[in-house]
Amino acid sequence: MVGAGQGASAAGSAAPGAATAPVTAGATPVASIAELVGGLRAGYDSGRTRGLEWRRKQLAAGIALVKENEREILEALRVDLGKPALEGVMAEVSYTLGEARFMLKKLAGWLKPRKVSTPMMAQPGKSVLVQEPLGVVCVIAPWNYPFQLAMVPALGALAAGNTVVLKPSEVSAATSNLFARLIPRYFDSSAMRVVEGGVVETSALLEQRFDHIFYTGNGAVGRVVMAAAAKHLTPVTLELGGKSPCYVDPSADLDVAARRIAWGKFYNAGQTCVAPDYILAHASVHDRLLEKLAATVKQFYGADPQRSPDYGRIVNQRHHRRLMKLLGSGDVVVGGTGDEATRYLAPTVLKNVSPDSPVMAEEIFGPILPVLKVSGPEEAISFVNRREKPLALYVFAGDRDVAEQFIARTSSGGVTVNHAWLHLAVPELPFGGVGESGMGAYHGQSTFDTFSHMKPVLKKPFLFDPSILYPPYTEGKQKMIRKLL
């Protein structure tokens, strides 16, 4: 078994930008997909998934998979994204373990019927909500955090008593191949299966009838998933993205703010759905903030971030070219260089950015941070509210009233005050979007609830059966019923 330190050391032996042999994800034969889903349907219909011990066994299998294969997981992440070992440990390995252990600890309590009050009209009686699984679930994962964004929802679906088809992203091919090897070793084929491939395989998969589809990715594909789900009236959870704004107030500690924003933005080379997408800086601190951001980038990654073992890479050349085109949207404060051959793009801060520039048109999903100047909270709030609802919003302000204004007057999937995206690390806080940034939520109990139906049950005895409910509806009965309603 590989411990955290041991696995990190092994995976960190190669520099993030080191050349690796091209990796191609496997492709599940399209003709086998219907049979594969049918096998999972049979597994669910057998009734074996409903018991507490079966669910615990699946969570234990997931924990064992992560702990016993940490070295391979981190290496796959390095190949796919040049991901530094410590970032792989924190955001992928440890996070997945934390969620799985939390679910394992709480599972028995979540399965207990939840009592609710019974009104007078239904007395005597007992009202409860009984958890039941949905059936066969499809989890379609993205490439930016390809391990944990696949495993966490999949384990949550199993914990809720479902069977699962896991579709990893073909873009993160090394991780996809890893799932194809490991899942059959740790999970029964009637509990979870992996479908690999690209558009053709995913399209064939979406033709099948599922009881829930959980998709993480962009809005364009999210619409395709939702349209396919509509054919079977299948409910969906869409974890999308959006341009998550970050306001910096004069009351903020600029040294701390610069460090936390730079960390949140350039983690995973900016390929994080909740990364600060752009900064709205108060005019009085705009120039100083730029100076501190530039200094922080140098402090984090050195004078040449391309040589830093702590900085990742863009997932492929196509995305690298897309991002390079955005560099002309403003004046470069720091960074602004790239190397397509090694998929390197320097951590970049831009100033003098127009709100109508290409870099402000859609989610950046890369290490480019535009900084715009605003006159104060009012202008910043107005700016945010004129755009689509983001997945996250960040406010850096020592003045609590300023933070409360943003919380009360803007809409976003979640908010972190004085830090970047740490709200998603709290299991009791549901994580999800609103509007264009998604629908539905997960993490902690919310994951379990997403893949469950809370079935309402009313239990009544035969002992007491007043005739007041039954015809004929006499005047006396009507008066009494009106008093009870």
What distance in Å separates the CA atoms of residue 333 and residue 356, rounded to the nearest whole number?
A: 19
Q: Which of 87, 92, 196, 239 is catalytic?
A: 239
Q: Which run of H or of E encompasses 247?
A: strand 245-248
Q: For residue 312, which of 236, 275, 367 has the smallest C-alpha distance? A: 367
Q: Which of 87, 273, 363, 436 is catalytic?
A: 273
At residue 405's C-alpha, the angle toward residues 404 and 410, to 5°, is 110
User: Across the strands, what pairs with 344?
Assistant: 339
CA–CA distances in Å: residue 122 to residues 7, 127, 130, 465, 479: 59, 9, 18, 11, 17
What distance in Å separates the CA atoms of residue 453 and residue 297, rounded to the nearest whole number?
A: 47
For 265-315, the DSSP string reads HHGGGG--TTS--EEEEETTTHHHHHHHHHHHHHHHH-S-GGG-TT----S
Q: Is 246 known to be catalytic?
A: no
Question: DSSP 3-state assignment of 123?
Answer: coil
Tokens (6 digits) for 7: 């696995």
Return left, alpha or beta for 142; rule: phi > 0 is left, psi -120 to 50 is alpha, else beta: beta
Specify whether the CB–CB gap between 41 and 208 falls below 8 A: no
What distance in Å separates the CA atoms of residue 447 and residue 442, rounded to the nearest whole number?
A: 4
Strand order across the 212-216 sheet? 192-194, 163-167, 136-140, 212-216, 236-239, 438-439
- Strands (E) across 323-396 are located at 331-334, 338-339, 344-345, 348-351, 368-374, 392-396
Q: For residue 386, which of 396, 395, 378 has the smallest C-alpha distance? A: 378
Specify whether the CB–CB gap between 114 and 128 falls below 8 A: yes
Q: Catalytic positions, please? A: 239, 273
